[in-house]
Structure 1
Amino acid sequence: MTSRKFRLGGLAAAAAAATLVGMAAPASAQLPDFGSSGSAGSNDGSSTGSLTCGTTQVFPFFTWGWLPIESNGPRFVDNPEGVAGGTGNGALNFGVNSTSEAVTYYQPTRTPLADAAGLGYNVFLDSTVAPAYQLRVWGANRTDGAADGFTALTWEASRNGGIPAAGQWHSYDALENGKWWSSRDIAGATGRQAVSLADIKAANPKAEIRAYGIRVGTGASASTSFADNVKFGCNTWDFETLPSLSSGSAGSSGSAGSSGS
């Protein structure tokens, strides 16, 4: 296991400070297609394709390819609710203000659905709305015959043991052993019924994960919730605010940016 921490010093620290003061968060690209040769590049020029197993720190100005979909991407925050969510002090704020609002954040990949394993994350909620873990899949066997075979597979705590208690962090691991529902009717998963991922894999042998990430969808009541330490395979993503440039904390550093949609 390795840990990839972005350390600032000298000119790098000054550059990061200038980024905060003089630039908005970088705009990200549309999500649907990520190419055909490994993981897609980041919106800041970095790439996840060569990462080895371990924990990677993700910052607002250095996202390692993480992308929002909606214009209101999640906010990087420091020490939410006064309690750290695991590694470090930062987390992503997935708060929504109305039932028509959604917040999502995804990491591009090219992984056969059959190989999905090591899925997990940490969540904190103030009420009854918990962020969900989602796989965006192409090549599934759609019952309507759609050629692209797109669907979004979602793991929710409420369908896997119940809504977690508010006011504290919860750690979920081995989500691949839980129950998932599909946004489109596909072989093995129809009517948005929660079924085992193993059954979905077996019924969709050619399906490929093009992105994975965290989502609070439309229909959720106004709420505040957080996520951190997103796991996919042997990789863990630790979301942090900017490293301290002096003796003080960087605090909240704003939105993850827009997908331009």
Structure 2
Amino acid sequence: MFLRGVRSSSAALLAAVAALIALGVPAWAEQGSSDSAEGLPPGFPCGTTTVSPLSTWLWFPIDGRAPRYAEGTQASGTGYLDMYAPPGGRTNYFHPGINTRLSDLAADPQNLGFMHQGQYVSFQLRLRLADRTDTNRSGFTTLVWWPPANGNEGGAGWATSDNLVTGNWWSTQAIQGLAGGQQSTASLQTIAQNNPDAIVTEYGVLNDSGTGGADRIVYGCRTWDFEPLADGSA
């Protein structure tokens, strides 16, 4: 359990990172250089944190609706994220990645994981400075780990996937060593080797079709456990 002072410092640090992200692509990204959180472990500050509707710890939706905090013991603790996506919509939750180097994240097979359920509930990494084959200078792309490319793991029921680094990922944009689209996949280690300057600006979960759930998201040395309010879901 974190001391109050540590929690306050962590929140202040992450708030500053979120403010920078909100300003858009920083100048260094356009110039093709990297200003990642060098020296910090992926997921810094380390530890396990409980996220609730009243204390979201900078988790936020991007271009979609936020998940509902649901009650139930199917996943970790007494609740989880209800990732239901209505027809034509999407549900997602992301957290600032503190510009973690993709190569640092890919260095340990245990650096990425989550509990999940649903055919299209995916774990996603939003990158900058990837080596895009169209020479886009920002190097933006999103890497996606989802059940259809990984033996349908979690597609039919709750699963704990704790080795996402070695799983099959696809990229929304064509980057070095990986064509864009769902048909071309590679492990995170391979992607990092081919895109040595890539950094993670946000990470999270997304669903764009039907029912689903997510919980206990692991990013480097940080674990996030999602719980509803004590008097009911929100």
Matched, 1:134 2:124: yes
TM-score w.r.t. the length of structure 1 is 0.70
2:146 to 156, 172, 176: 156
Q: Is the 8 A contact 2:80 2:227 kept in 1?
A: yes
Is 1:236 matched with 2:223? yes
In structure 2, the residue corresponding to 1:238 is in which secondary structure? Answer: strand
Q: Distance in 2 between matches of 1:50 and 1:122?
A: 17
Identity of aligned residues (%): 35
Mapped to 2, the partners of 1:215 and 1:187 lie a distance apart of: 24
Partner of 2:49: 56
- 1: CA distance, partners of 2:36 / 2:164: 27
Q: Please, which moves more after superposition, 63-72 or 107-116?
A: 63-72
Which of the numbers 61, 84, 94 marks the counterpart of 1:106?
Answer: 94
> Which AA in structure 2 matches 1:64?
W
Return the match for 2:61 from 61, 68, 80.
Answer: 68
1:33, distance to aligned residue in structure 2 (A): 3.8
1:95 and 2:76 matched = no
Is residue 133 of structure 2 the alignment partner of residue 143 of structure 1? Answer: yes
**Partners in 1 of 2:36 and 2:186 — Cα distance?**
31
2:203 pairs, out of 209, 212, 215, with 212
User: 1:174, CA displacement in angstroms?
Assistant: 1.6
Looking at structure 2, the residues matched to 101 and 70 of structure 1 have their Cα atoms a distance apart, in angstroms, of 10
Give the aligned residue type for 2:188.
L
Verify: 1:124 aligned to 2:117, yes or no: yes
Deviation of the 1:211 alpha carbon: 0.7
- Partner SS, residue 199 of structure 1: helix
Deviations 1:46-94, CA, capped at 9 Å, x for gaps: xxx9964221100112111111113521111111xxx3302x1111111
The answer to whether the 8 Å contact 1:130/1:163 transfers is no
1:252 lines up with 2:226 in the alignment: no
Alignment equivalent of 1:195, drawn from 186, 190, 202: 186
Q: Distance in 2 between matches of 1:32 and 1:228?
A: 29
Displacement of 1:124 in angstroms is 2.3
CA pair 76-180 structure 1, distance change in 2 beyond 3 A: same
Segments of 4+ moved more than 4 angstroms: 28-32, 34-38
Give the direction of change, closer, same or farther, for the CA distance of 1:120–1:197 in structure 2 (3 Å limit): same
**Structure number having the greater helix percentage:** 2
1:157-213, Cα deviation, whole Å (9 max, x unpaired): 2211225353x4210012011110000000011042111212211111100000110
Aligned AA (1:185): A
Q: 2:48 and 2:225 mapped to 1: Cα distance?
A: 7
Distance 1:143 1:34 in 2: 19
Structure 2: runs of 5 or more not aligned: 5-17, 27-34
How far is 1:123 from its partner? Answer: 0.9
Gaps of 5+ in 1: 7-27, 39-48, 245-249, 254-261
State which structure, 1 or 2, has the greater radius of gyration over its C-alpha atoms: 1
